Each structure stands twice: as C-alpha cells, then as structure tokens.
C-alpha cells in the first residue's frame, strides 16, 4: 500500500545520493555498530547487529535499492545505520550520514527500477529517493 503524503522524513546521504526514510518508521540511528556477517544471505545484507537485545539485519542501501553508485565510492564504509520498521520487521539501513529531518517534497515516480523507492523529489538541488517501507521486505527480494 502506498501513501501519497509523507509527514517528516529523515534525510540521509548514501554515497552521492540522498535517501529519505519516514520519521515515524525510524527507531534509532547507530554510529558504526558491530556487524556479524551471515552466510547465504542476499548480497545487499551486510550482516546483523544487535539493537536493544534484538538481532537486526543490516542492508547496504545502494545494493538493496539498486541505487546507482558513483565510481569514486567503491570500498567506502558507511558511517551510520538507521534502525527502522520495514512493514513489521526491524531492519538496519546503511548510510554515510543522517543530515536532518525535513518535510517531504512533492514526489514523482522513480526514474529507475527499484521496488523499494516510493518516489523522487528534489532537495537542495539534488535528487531525493524516498523509501517505500510498505514494499516487499528487502531480505525477501
């Protein structure tokens, strides 16, 4: 189910991209938490981390969302993980940094194929991809 109105979103930088996550879904921002790699998981899953005693799968947003990655971004480690509620599951979403909370701009359909992006907008002259946290859980895609 898609919602046309998003109240506030956490604005994060992922490489050269801006990604928005609905604030009502963000539970925490973790700085460089320990990650435990797991065997036999999708390439987008970096492993799990513990948050409030719960194991949380952590995803590389560039891979999970099929975001274009700039050439100069290879090998760079993300700085923070947003713990969010994706449907009814907890997930960790890797980002370079969380910038601020904003009101969502008007959204257009995404210009590239990603089942997890609700739409695109513009913030500070840059394209913003707003996540669809009601889409199919990324660990199952």
Tokens encoding 88: 């009814």
CB 38 within 8 A of CB 80: no
Mean pLDDT of all residues in 5-16: 82
Length of the chain: 141
Q: DSSP letter at 112?
A: S
Taken in order of first residue, the domains within the chain and their CATH numbers are 8-140 (2.40.50.180)
Identify which of 61-65, 66-70, 111-115, 126-130 has the greatest average pLDDT. 126-130
Query: How does residue 77 score in pLDDT terms, banded at 50, 70 and 90?
Result: low
Give tens-digit pLDDT for 34-65. Answer: 999 999 888 888 999 999 999 999 998 888 77
Return the pLDDT at 35. Answer: 92
pTM of the predicted model as reported, rounded to 2 decimal places: 0.82
Closest C-alpha to 91, from 126, 41, 128, 127:
41
What is the end-to-end Cα distance of the chain in Å, rounded?
17
């Amino acid at each position: 189910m898609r919602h046309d109105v998003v109240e506030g979103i956490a604005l994060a930088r992922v490489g050269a991209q801006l990604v928005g996550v609905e604030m009502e879904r963000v539970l925490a921002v973790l700085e460089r938490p320990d990650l435990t790699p797991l065997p036999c998981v999708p390439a987008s899953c970096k492993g799990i981390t513990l948050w409030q005693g719960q194991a949380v799968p952590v995803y590389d947003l560039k891979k999970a969302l099929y975001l274009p990655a700039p050439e100069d971004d290879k090998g760079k480690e993300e700085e923070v993980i947003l713990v969010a509620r994706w449907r009814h599951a907890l997930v960790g979403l890797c980002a370079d940094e969380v910038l601020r909370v904003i009101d969502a701009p008007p959204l257009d359909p995404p210009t590239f194929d990603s089942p997890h992006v609700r739409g695109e907008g513009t913030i500070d002259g840059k394209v913003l991809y707003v996540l669809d946290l009601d889409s199919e859980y990324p660990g199952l895609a």
